[in-house]
Structure 1
């Protein structure tokens, strides 16, 4: 793997050249405020050429598109971290001689990528647009930019805990904000975003470049476009409210009910409203998950995903993954869906890369170079509402059972599979045990006895396990959100890491809770990192829980 910043954006390239590896990301942002690197105010004006560039960059950086044929940044940002910790993927490649994040031997050079992308691509881009009149000239577009910023920053704080936010762009050392304050800031920014989006009407000003700019809701009339952005803002608020329910249940309830109040514009309810980011069609960028699976063979199905999908007979499995190819080397398990256990012992790429890969082949692959990454789905929102019903919140629009079943139905429709009725009525199928075809030391018993069919007589804890398990199956392959929800709830129950090389810093059963702060921040912002560790409330390692990750039952 290598870093290659070529062809990402003029902004990022200029900053890498000026700051080099010796400047921290947050201090790079400070330097950005002092030096436009040749970009004039005219360039940055609301209808200037860089309105398109910066807005597109911010959207794409949430998921970190691969640029210039090198998706290494996304691989470090998510696939070799959250995608594995969530139970979706595992790499057949023994990186760093087999000592790496996948078996909890944390690699310093891997752990700073999410941090870097947030500041260099998302916050810088949006900040420059806002300083050059975006909110004034096009309020609705400014509201959409705030939604993008919150979506991106939330992912990053849920990786590390405290991060710099309120003081980014000021002079001197850049302080970190504690996570409780970050969530308060997110809710405030979503208030601003929703007010701007609700005010849009046929007479509102809008740039004629909107089709170039909007990668989330393209090819729509502007009235529908910004109604969808409003629904996304409310849905994101609901997601964040549910995230904090164990640490601040009253604030969670207030924010969730605000999100669900029909007077505020509604939430995502249809797959046509899903939050997905279009891959630009100029050939420069590609879907990075497709790339690392198809071209590098660096990611394969996780054993936990295999356990649930094969055990449940889930028809979505053929849309998500490919079976082991028919090959003389795979006699005995060709045609089956087989994954790799997280932190598996004895990884050999020439063997394990033969196991189930992302569905990128055949005449109708689910994932191609231009498949738009999906960051939030209508199915997820129904499951969030189902949990809200379980907690007695207002405005959820149904019972826990009806919303749970609607979530499954919506996911099946999204992936174009049949068999919904039989699936929802299945009260016998359970997750399967895992058998590693090459190394029996990686074998594991089934992680749970949970079945699919809703059971009104079950405890709230079992009902929540059912909701979260089906949400996890539905939001594939969005591993960052899946990992966050696993940490919050303990569901779905995942196979623990097979080999734990953390030297006791991360508990095998509890599993990894966060990434350590980037080494670059220790090098250039050391005093503030020490303050951030105090805000974190524990050691800067993968075993320390985040603010909302409370070690207690869900009810």
Structure 2
């Protein structure tokens, strides 16, 4: 956050409770508890396209005018840090979400962005009749909605979903299981519409590519992404609903349904256009409010992983123990910005920088899909397309290709393990190596070890997408991450299990107390950061 601001926590609490801030494109948040209403406009295709572009950009919450405060609260000081990818050098009062002192004013931003910046424009798009006029474009809108709202439910658990936009004064929350089932139903309709469009070649009444920030109007790529997204969501629920997970995964894997993302040209990346910026890069570069996390640094240095030079810069600190070295910050450390902003940043300066203010955020890459298929192969599911080992190794190779690095011998390294962590500025932050997992596939290993290998390499390959990184860790327990140094969320949040979710927004308690009380009942636990989501079965 802008370092010159005073009374930060008070200001941020007011920001969310008052519902001003960056996502101010839609009229009313208090019309109902989602702020979504059915808008109308005529056959202005430019306006139609702007609704779709707005929703695409809101998945990652781009901000214009150099003000990504909203993304910082939505994801960066939460999932980006909980995933093990990042940690802030800014103390923010020494009581904040990174040490589990969950700030109510921060916790509602994810919810607000989901409904005001994703659901609202998509429902306004629907009101134009696009579902009947151009079903393939509506299919893309539905895929965008599922992509975004899956991130929202994976932060809170139950959310209002099925009845959003129906004009109710208060929209009830759905259980997370019901939300996921709705996702799969929406993907059924969307993929069918896309297959029909692709086979018919129907000409659209406007230039859809102009409004498509992901695939430039290529419906085949949207279909492959939708199938890949289905596979991801199916794997999310594998430990809690094996039967549904298998059905949905095999539907995604069936080549007759259109295929999956298989190479980096199909990566789901949202272009940064106009005066908009990549918010993660802005926060790292302009505010120095985020730095690399200790977990990802120790895995990459321990593995001698060539992607490290593409992911992060070396420390700029003059201390010989830091100078010219890759060094992350351990989550929950007691930090001082002047001391810790010299730790490793995103790769913004070293060599050929991988990140800039115009870097398109990648929300799903081909490597992740290969690792999902490897896990499917472990389960013995149909049409995985290879053995677990073959798909695991292809996932690694595809990630290396994405980052344009050579890695001779990497997949055959059976000895390297993640490094222990040492903090030259404070030994209280030191920690032993988080895992002894190696890289080389071992077909004789236990299912748990195989899963740890797949999940660890998938996590490395998904960097810097912290939302899915956090979900993967909560779902599987892998990769093994360093625990928070200072845990101010005890006893609700276990240091060993780590944070499981964010509490419902305070605005919901203020304006819809009975609705949110009913939502808490769907949690099967207290509304705090220690209660697991429906699909989170770890104990």
Same fold (TM > 0.5): yes
Aligned-pair CA distance for 1:504: 1.1
- 1:82-93 counterparts in 2 under 5 A? 82-93=79-90
The equivalent residue for 1:133 is 129
5+ long unaligned stretches in structure 1 = none
Q: Which moved more, 1:239-248 or 1:123-132?
A: 123-132
- Helix, strand or coil at the partner of 1:295: helix
CA offsets, 1:193-221, max 9 Å, x none?
A: 00010011464131433232100112xxx
CA offsets, 1:144-185, max 9 Å, x none?
A: 111000011110000000000011123222110001101110
Q: Which among 355, 359, 366 is matched to residue 378 of structure 1?
A: 366
Aligned-pair CA distance for 1:66: 1.9
The equivalent residue for 2:472 is 485
The equivalent residue for 1:417 is 405
The equivalent residue for 1:212 is 210
- 1:164-243 counterparts in 2 under 5 A? 164-169=160-165, 170-201=167-198, 203-218=201-216, 225-243=218-236
Aligned-pair CA distance for 1:505: 1.1
Q: Which among 492, 500, 504 is matched to residue 513 of structure 1?
A: 500
5+ long unaligned stretches in structure 2 = 2-11
CA offsets, 1:524-544, max 9 Å, x none?
A: 111010111100110000000
Q: Which among 287, 290, 306 is matched to residue 281 of structure 2?
A: 290
The equivalent residue for 1:250 is 243
The answer to whether the aligner puts 1:262 opposite 2:249 as a matched pair is no
The equivalent residue for 2:99 is 103
Q: Which moved more, 1:48-57 or 1:360-369?
A: 360-369
Give the TM-score normalised by the residue count of structure 1. 0.92
- Helix, strand or coil at the partner of 1:26: coil
Find the aligned partners of 1:41 and 1:102 in 2 and give their Cα distance: 43
User: What number of residue pairs does the alignment pair up?
Assistant: 523
Q: What is the alpha-carbon root mean square deviation over aligned residues? A: 1.7
Find the aligned partners of 1:179 and 1:92 in 2 and give their Cα distance: 34
Asked whether the 8 Å contact 2:74–2:110 carries over to 1, the reply is yes
Aligned-pair CA distance for 1:137: 1.6
Aligned-pair CA distance for 1:409: 0.2
Give the TM-score normalised by the residue count of structure 2. 0.94
The equivalent residue for 1:398 is 386
Asked whether the 8 Å contact 2:32–2:168 carries over to 1, the reply is no
Find the aligned partners of 2:26 and 2:485 in 1 and give their Cα distance: 43
Find the aligned partners of 2:351 and 2:432 in 1 and give their Cα distance: 36
Asked whether the 8 Å contact 1:7–1:68 carries over to 2, the reply is no
- Helix, strand or coil at the partner of 1:375: strand
Aligned-pair CA distance for 1:59: 0.3
The equivalent residue for 2:35 is 28
Q: Which among 507, 510, 516 is matched to residue 523 of structure 1?
A: 510
Find the aligned partners of 1:439 and 1:471 in 2 and give their Cα distance: 31
The answer to whether the aligner puts 1:369 opposite 2:366 as a matched pair is no
- In structure 2, the CA distance between the partners of 1:529 and 1:193, relative to structure 1 (3 Å rule), is same
Aligned-pair CA distance for 1:14: 4.5
Aligned-pair CA distance for 1:68: 1.7
The equivalent residue for 1:389 is 377
Find the aligned partners of 1:213 and 1:48 in 2 and give their Cα distance: 10
Q: Which moved more, 1:355-364 or 1:136-145?
A: 355-364
Q: Which among 474, 496, 509 is matched to residue 483 of structure 2?
A: 496
The answer to whether the aligner puts 1:304 opposite 2:295 as a matched pair is yes
The equivalent residue for 1:48 is 45
